[in-house]
Structure 1
């Protein structure tokens, strides 16, 4: 590490890039069980923002596990490293003025706290995409819950690995009680004034 010399103080800052883009770079960290609707809502919100002239980037669990995090499994240690890497990437995007939408199960309070600490309180906005596991299992478009119930997938969140509900998220979106359009409106009302 003695040969590493960061140049953060010598490069253009976040404010310079936000002026260029005419928007605020933030991280919207969407958490919830598999099948809760995180990715669906993230894609809808991204399209809304794009149509409004905003530059966005979605970081999604499935997508990043095919590239950046392809070498990680689902043990507690690998889940933590997965989120650590994602948080570092999200922070870089946000510092470029990009509205960064992260869609990750993020099952534990400690993992979410780590991502908040990496990204920073001023940039990190947690959205709990709340949906009962029974509803998530009925949706189960990937067939993952069924495989986990049969023991074919180990360490599956909600089945044999815990999910701790966020205690103080910036926003709660109940995808079992509202349709996609109403959930999208919740996102728009909360986030558009701050970006």
Structure 2
């Protein structure tokens, strides 16, 4: 339900001024991939590298957000859509603060990722495809979720009984079964340097 009787309130300090103060260009690193692909691990490594460089960044991790903001959502298709909608809005606020934002969510549907991109200013949305074969993800299975999904204990599990739309043209494509976490993180940070988001 849309909120009625509200008017957008303009702020005195602009997004551009906040970014200038931080000496960086805000952007959203949207990590997508199967469960166990390494999204959170790589995103954490990137965040650490950015911190070492003196950048202002924040990581919105899928599991962590579901402990709070999205704690009322399950994993049906409809709830996954709402999960992504909410996180897109939060990321947009962080971008307005001039931050480099990372979101580590499966975000399995291409249509949802497209909607998230539409909410973000042109050029600020960077899709990062964490490309890991499902066999490798199942072998890793850090949370034991694939085992439970195969046993029928978890429904609507991406890659098992719920679809995953592989990104067609991600800005960054990393393969965690072929590269170390450090190599993946360096690839992503180098992209930010090359594109002028950080120096």
Residue number in structure 2 paired with 1:85: 86
CA distance in 1, matches of 2:60, 2:13: 24
Deviating above 6 A after TM superposition, structure 1's stretches of 4 or more consecutive aligned residues are none
Give the paired residue count. Answer: 194
TM norm structure 2: 0.94
Trace 1:174-185 onto structure 2 (pairs within 5 A): 174-185=175-186
CA distance in 1, matches of 2:24, 2:12: 19
Deviates more, 1:144-153 or 1:120-129: 120-129
Residue number in structure 1 paired with 2:100: 99
For the residue of structure 2 that corresponds to 1:5, the secondary structure is: coil
For the residue of structure 2 that corresponds to 1:172, the secondary structure is: strand
1:97-128 Cα distance to aligned partner (Å, 9 max, x none): 10001101010111111110112332111000
Residue number in structure 2 paired with 1:167: 168
Residue number in structure 1 paired with 2:42: 41
CA distance in 2, matches of 1:191, 1:143: 34
Trace 1:43-122 onto structure 2 (pairs within 5 A): 43-122=44-123
**Cα distance, 1:2 vs. partner?**
4.2
CA distance in 2, matches of 1:35, 1:82: 19
1:117-172 Cα distance to aligned partner (Å, 9 max, x none): 11233211100000000000001010000000000000000000000100111110
1:66-109 Cα distance to aligned partner (Å, 9 max, x none): 00000000011100000000000001101111000110101011
1:133 aligns with 2:142: no
CA distance in 2, matches of 1:176, 1:2: 49
CA distance in 1, matches of 2:51, 2:160: 36
- Note the aligned Cα RMSD (angstroms): 1.0
Instruction: Name structure 1 gaps, 5 residues minimum.
Output: none
